[in-house]
Structure 1
């Protein structure tokens, strides 16, 4: 994800923090400093870091169960409103999704009695539910936060853990995409209610509401894409009309193509028609500025673009794009020559066409701007 920093890797999962999370830490430090000076500032910052340590453990609860089912987790992203674990693929069995979803809240449930045991009876348990009171002990407040995290995540608002449990339960009787659509709609409705309460009581709820609403919409779109990807080959949805650059081309030629077409990514191919690499708009501009117009494109191109056969299902192409953080997938024929491209813009067009087309038309062929669809 853009604007994020990698802080480490744990059991094959990269842990990243979004730049806005760093901004939150600075704001917490300054806010506490204004109230109580340096000591209060470091105390407040330490408490927030402890809370996000619990959030990280929550996400690794999901990861542990996902790994049990053979699902890899490339990364965890820490945001000001919590953490997000990225799964390599969605669990398609309701039982698996339920177990993966509840694993996170169960971690928070386990942390609370553990903290109480460490306290050995010191402090009152009812104080744990007033974590905003700085007079309450550090660990007691942390226990209360974990209880809140458990309960909040179990709200049936997709894509939170409770919403995923709801989707899995609906998927027992309904198709996966339809179950996701219903769960996402419920999540969006709850987000609107949270936003209303935020206007009346706490502005922070508005931020959470926006996140829940947008995430629910994104999850719904992902489910629709997955529903398509399970049934079509990459050759049915690939871009077949595009400009290419030869290995001997210069950045100057790439600039001419960039200005003359609507393309932003240019495959670099050899004389045998095989893909050598991909030259993106950003790499063109960077090379032009730092190395000059006569620079060979082979010095600026990205050479790690995944290739898949044209008979491969689209879901495999999507998996490769996610795993390798590739902007496009190259589709090759039996001889290994480049025959098409798939990018995220293509996938977005598929969704728009699918939602706009009638059922009778949806299962035909559609050609538009060099793009062929078959649903």
Structure 2
């Protein structure tokens, strides 16, 4: 029969500790990056503004362009009403409701971020509340957006720069 000696068990424990420590180091490094950088460094100042009275098909066309995945939705006066996410747009197309108005399917507007907020503050909020995009306001004026894809892209670039 098989006999497991003490050295083998010690090696397995050592590998487990090494893997766990490596993951913890990566987590701490990401947290540090998010704490050191602010929304203003990552936000997009130019973004697509969908209107609530447009058809879902319009949102799909914007999604197809590939530059954005999550959208802010406004009324005719330019007031923010809510958001529409890529997953929702695709689900609506599968349900054959592309002629419906965006207003019928938008999610409530999330709270705005400030350009001086840390990425950690914003990322934690997005994780906790399941937001995928936030408007960025300065002195009450909308100046851009930040979404989970922008934060992810930022982290990827930082990782490549550190290599």
> Normalised by the size of structure 1, how large is the TM-score?
0.35
- Counterpart position of 1:132: none
Q: How far apart, CA to CA, are the structure 2 residues paired with 1:310 and 1:271?
A: 26
Mapping of residues 38-117 of structure 1, within 5 Å: none
Shift of 1:357: 3.0
- Counterpart position of 1:353: 157
Q: 1:225 to 1:239 in 2, by over 3 A?
A: farther
- Counterpart position of 2:62: 257
For the residue of structure 2 that corresponds to 1:268, the secondary structure is strand
Mapping of residues 117-196 of structure 1, within 5 Å: 187-188=18-19
Q: 1:343 to 1:334 in 2, by over 3 A?
A: same
> 2:138 matched to 1:333?
yes
Structure 2 unaligned segments of length 5 or more: list them: 1-12
Q: 1:243 to 1:221 in 2, by over 3 A?
A: farther
Q: 1:156 to 1:350 in 2, by over 3 A?
A: farther
> 2:148 matched to 1:344?
yes
Is contact 2:70–2:147 with CA below 8 Å preserved after alignment?
Answer: no
Shift of 1:251: 0.6
Q: 1:283 to 1:157 in 2, by over 3 A?
A: same
Q: Deviations over 1:314-337 (max 9, x none)?
A: 221122112212222322221242
Q: How far apart, CA to CA, are the structure 2 residues paired with 1:237 and 1:272?
A: 27
Is contact 1:305–1:326 with CA below 8 Å preserved after alignment?
Answer: yes
For the residue of structure 2 that corresponds to 1:254, the secondary structure is helix
- Counterpart position of 1:50: none
Match of 2:100 among 295, 299, 308: 295
Q: How far apart, CA to CA, are the structure 2 residues paired with 1:266 and 1:223?
A: 31
Is contact 1:233–1:312 with CA below 8 Å preserved after alignment?
Answer: yes
> 2:82 matched to 1:277?
yes
> Normalised by the size of structure 2, how large is the TM-score?
0.74
> 2:43 matched to 1:238?
yes
Shift of 1:231: 2.4
CA RMSD after TM alignment: 2.9
Q: How far apart, CA to CA, are the structure 2 residues paired with 1:343 and 1:222?
A: 20
Match of 1:319 among 116, 124, 132: 124
Structure with the larger helix share: 1
Shift of 1:297: 0.6
Q: 1:288 to 1:345 in 2, by over 3 A?
A: closer
Aligned length: 151
After superposing the two structures, state which structure 1 stretch, 317-326 or 239-248, moved more: 239-248
Shift of 1:305: 2.5
Is contact 2:34–2:120 with CA below 8 Å preserved after alignment?
Answer: yes
RCO comparison, higher one (Cα < 8 Å, 6+)? 2
Q: 1:225 to 1:296 in 2, by over 3 A?
A: same
Shift of 1:284: 1.4
> 2:97 matched to 1:266?
no
Shift of 1:347: 2.2
For the residue of structure 1 that corresponds to 2:36, the secondary structure is coil
